[in-house]
Amino acid sequence: MCGIIGYVGQRRCQGLLFEGLKRLEYRGYDSAGLAWRENGRTECVRAIGNLESLSSALAARAAAGEAQDSGALATATVSAGIGHTRWATHGAVTEHNAHPHSDWSGRVRIVLNGIIENYVQLREWLAEEMIECSSETDAEVVAQLISLHYDGDLSDAVRRTVSVLSGHFAFVAMCDEEPDTLVGIRRECPLVVGVGEDELFIASSISAFLRHTRRVVVLHDGEIAVMRHGAVTVFDVDGLPHRPQETHVDWDEDRCEKDGFETFMLKEIHEQPAAIAETLLQSRANLTQAADGALGPEAARAISRIVIVGCGTSYHAGLAGRMAVERWARVPVEVDVASEFRYREPIVEPGTLVIGITQSGETADTLAAMRLARAQGATVLAVTNATGSQATREADAVLFTRAGLEIGVAATKTFVAQVVLLYHLALHLARARGALPAAEAEALQRELDRLPGHVEQVIESVDSGMRVLAERLVWSPFFLYLGRLSGLVVALEGALKLKEISYVPTDAYAAGEMKHGPIALLGHDTPVVCVATDDRVLPKLLSNLSEVRARGARVLAVASEGCKQIAEHAEHVVYVPVSDPLLQVVLAIVPLQLFAYHLARARALNVDQPRNLAKTVTVE
């Protein structure tokens, strides 16, 4: 979820680029850098940590007598530059790995967001061409390729480079031979062009340049933007021209920071397809490269038991993870709320793998549980969204979700990212232990890879229906959520979302447990939200729903497309694409997130900062 900014125009651009990066800070990053061209030469400054570190590095450079910048007119006719906030994917967080990256000669520089999946092969191919990369990053590989393909036309070199890249990414390139030109390309990652008076911006988000222009050209997938002399031309990867469509953005800055969405939570719900795609790419790379250590095949075979600990939504992700690990890898798994685990004198021993799940990486109870397990000889794996967080220091191994910074207190995109990462881990263990036929593992992998597209489809198809439903039920005093197996995980998480942001009392239960107590809560018109996507228990669930309806309660169901029986049992049904029952956790949660969201908005509540809740709970 790195941030990109580029500028080409007549103003000195170091300050403009830095200001653009400031506006992209919310995306999360662990290093930053700028490269800009002024008065006939290219300068580059990079720093680990936040933008204050970059600012100090720029000041140190200026104090050392190098060119200064003040936002005034450049002495040369044109200035151009690129900037980046990097969230490490390939290679450690070092100044050397920070962007911008250049080819070996330093004439081509790029900033890149996303992941180049085939960068190892490309790096090997470059080595055969006697070009050695000096960093561990995929971005440098791209810079080297552009330089290799350069034959007097940067856009052509970019186009030829893109044709050999796989993965999803956006990048912006500059080159010494064409000092008045920037070339940007996007494939799945965002990139927008800002059109000013004789100047152009390019960035991951409009917020990076909104102060300077509201005229925007949104690039579509696969489009290449060539920016020079105040004009942008757009091509596809075959070199065919596209007509750039300019729009005027009238958002205020606050709205802009949310990419035009009314709240961070809604923006983050819409970012789920990207969060899943990035997490899958990253975890696949990490797990296949884990030749040794806590996740290597030998260690995977030696695991006798897994214990998953987490709090709130992360605990719910753990419940989904348990089902996948037990079903696919046939390893016994326990899941515990971290605050209980740490005090119940749990039995953990060498051979136990303890997985601490925490998006923030700073939750006090989860950290304490991980520490306790480690002290008792267990191997501890952290699953977190935050590089450099405490969880990464308390663990023997770390797997990162790549959801980007989540600002809304209610977890949404980090949840789906955690679930898909745990599914990847389960498949990895299954393969290492020979627990699943290869064809079945491959089929599940393909289904996982289809999830981003499916989630996008669900968001589009259910959003307005969920709003209407939420507005109709806005003053219901209580909601009961029911589900079985993977549907129960969704019910628990859906109920948590509603209570967190709308303050409406909810309860969530395994549907088979209903008649052992919660059925007493049902009265005429009580809304019951039922997750009916797990077809292994569908007939049982339908019987439970008959009992619900016999009490006059109203059933709202989430079901799989093509499930005909559910319509007889529910007043309102939302359908999600058919997938493996476990994978449907990721699809079925989306309508319930949107339902909670719209209900809270209909109550005029602040969904991003619900009362009494903090994003990171660093106290017990």
Q: How many residues bind ligand AGP (CB under 6 A)?
A: 16
Decide the pairing of beta strands 181-187 and 224-228. antiparallel
Of the listed pieces 187-195, 309-317, 323-331, 581-589, which binds ligand AGP according to CB under 6 A?
309-317
CB of 360 to ligand AGP, least distance (A): 3
Determine, following the binding rule CB under 6 A, whether residue 164 of this chain makes contact with ligand AGP. no
Determine, following the binding rule CB under 6 A, whether residue 410 of this chain makes contact with ligand AGP. yes
- What tokens appear for 245 in the block? 């469509």
Burial class (CB in 10 A: 0-12, 13-18, 19+), 61: middle
Distance CA 306, CA 333 (A): 5
What values do phi and psi take at 494, rounded to 5? -65, -40
Q: Which residues are catalytic?
A: 2, 615
Question: What is the layout of strands, in order, in the sheet containing 506-510?
Answer: 506-510, 479-483, 527-532, 554-560, 572-576
Considering only residues 165-194, where is the footprint of ligand AGP by CB under 6 A?
none
Of the listed pieces 222-230, 329-337, 356-364, 448-456, which binds ligand AGP according to CB under 6 A?
356-364
> Of 11 and 316, which CB lies nearer to ligand AGP in the complex structure?
316
Determine, following the binding rule CB under 6 A, whether residue 85 of this chain makes contact with ligand AGP. no
Determine, following the binding rule CB under 6 A, whether residue 352 of this chain makes contact with ligand AGP. no
Decide the pairing of beta strands 479-483 and 527-532. parallel
Q: Contact with ligand AGP (CB under 6 A): which of 31, 147, 282, 314? A: 314
Determine, following the binding rule CB under 6 A, whether residue 339 of this chain makes contact with ligand AGP. no
Determine, following the binding rule CB under 6 A, whether residue 312 of this chain makes contact with ligand AGP. yes
Pattern 251-290, ligand AGP, x by CB under 6 A: ----------------------------------------
> Of 276 and 532, which CB lies nearer to ligand AGP in the complex structure?
276
Determine, following the binding rule CB under 6 A, whether residue 591 of this chain makes contact with ligand AGP. no
Considering only residues 364-383, where is the footprint of ligand AGP by CB under 6 A?
366
CB of 403 to ligand AGP, least distance (A): 11
CB of 428 to ligand AGP, least distance (A): 22
Which residue shows structure tokens 């797997």?
Answer: 399
CB of 407 to ligand AGP, least distance (A): 12
Cβ atoms of residues 140 and 133 within 8 Å: yes
> Of 144 and 358, which CB lies nearer to ligand AGP in the complex structure?
358
- Report the chain's terminal Cα–Cα distance, integer Å: 30
- What CA dihedral angle connects 531, 535, 539 and 543, to 10 degrees? -10
> With helix as H, strand as E and coil as C, how does 62-129 read?
HHCCCCCCCCCECCCCCEEEEEEEECCCCCCCCCCCCCCEECCCCCEEEEEEEEECCHHHHHHHHHHC
> Of 14 and 282, which CB lies nearer to ligand AGP in the complex structure?
282
Q: Contact with ligand AGP (CB under 6 A): which of 181, 263, 282, 313? A: 313
Determine, following the binding rule CB under 6 A, whether residue 359 of this chain makes contact with ligand AGP. yes
Nearest of 362, 359, 365, 301 to residue 336 by alpha carbon: 365
> Of 304 and 606, which CB lies nearer to ligand AGP in the complex structure?
606
> Widest CA span of the chain, in angstroms?
82
Distance CA 591, CA 236 (A): 35
Of the listed pieces 140-148, 274-282, 353-361, 594-602, which binds ligand AGP according to CB under 6 A?
353-361
Cβ atoms of residues 574 and 559 within 8 Å: yes
Of the listed pieces 7-15, 31-39, 227-235, 610-618, which binds ligand AGP according to CB under 6 A?
610-618
Residue type, 23: R
Task: Name the strand (E) or helix (H) holding 270.
Answer: helix 264-270
Nearest of 13, 106, 23 to residue 68 by alpha carbon: 13
> Of 35 and 386, which CB lies nearer to ligand AGP in the complex structure?
386
Determine, following the binding rule CB under 6 A, whether residue 487 of this chain makes contact with ligand AGP. no
CB of 589 to ligand AGP, least distance (A): 12
> Of 154 and 368, which CB lies nearer to ligand AGP in the complex structure?
368
By Cβ distance, which residue is nearest to ligand AGP?
Answer: 312
Helix, strand, coil % in the chain, rounded to nearest 5: 40, 25, 35
Determine, following the binding rule CB under 6 A, whether residue 311 of this chain makes contact with ligand AGP. yes
Q: Contact with ligand AGP (CB under 6 A): which of 358, 533, 579, 593? A: 358
Q: Contact with ligand AGP (CB under 6 A): which of 272, 352, 363, 379? A: 363
370 contact partners, CB below 8 Å, separation of at least 6: 309, 354, 356, 380, 382, 391, 394, 395
313 contact partners, CB below 8 Å, separation of at least 6: 359, 411, 414, 415, 418, 493, 496
Pattern 501-540, ligand AGP, x by CB under 6 A: ----------------------------------------
Determine, following the binding rule CB under 6 A, whether residue 355 of this chain makes contact with ligand AGP. no
> Of 210 and 417, which CB lies nearer to ligand AGP in the complex structure?
417
Distance CA 204, CA 197 (A): 21
Determine, following the binding rule CB under 6 A, whether residue 360 of this chain makes contact with ligand AGP. yes
Nearest of 220, 205, 264 to residue 4 by alpha carbon: 205
> Of 312 and 527, which CB lies nearer to ligand AGP in the complex structure?
312
> Of 314 and 352, which CB lies nearer to ligand AGP in the complex structure?
314
Considering only residues 411-430, where is the footprint of ligand AGP by CB under 6 A?
411
Q: Contact with ligand AGP (CB under 6 A): which of 409, 451, 485, 594? A: 409
Question: What is the layout of strands, in order, in the sheet containing 397-400?
Answer: 333-337, 305-310, 352-358, 379-384, 397-400
Helix 413-432 to helix 438-472 angle, to the nearest 10 degrees? Answer: 160
Determine, following the binding rule CB under 6 A, whether residue 500 of this chain makes contact with ligand AGP. yes
Distance CA 572, CA 560 (A): 13
Q: Which residues make up the interface to ligand AGP (CB under 6 A)?
A: 311-314, 358-360, 363, 366, 409-411, 500, 613, 616-617
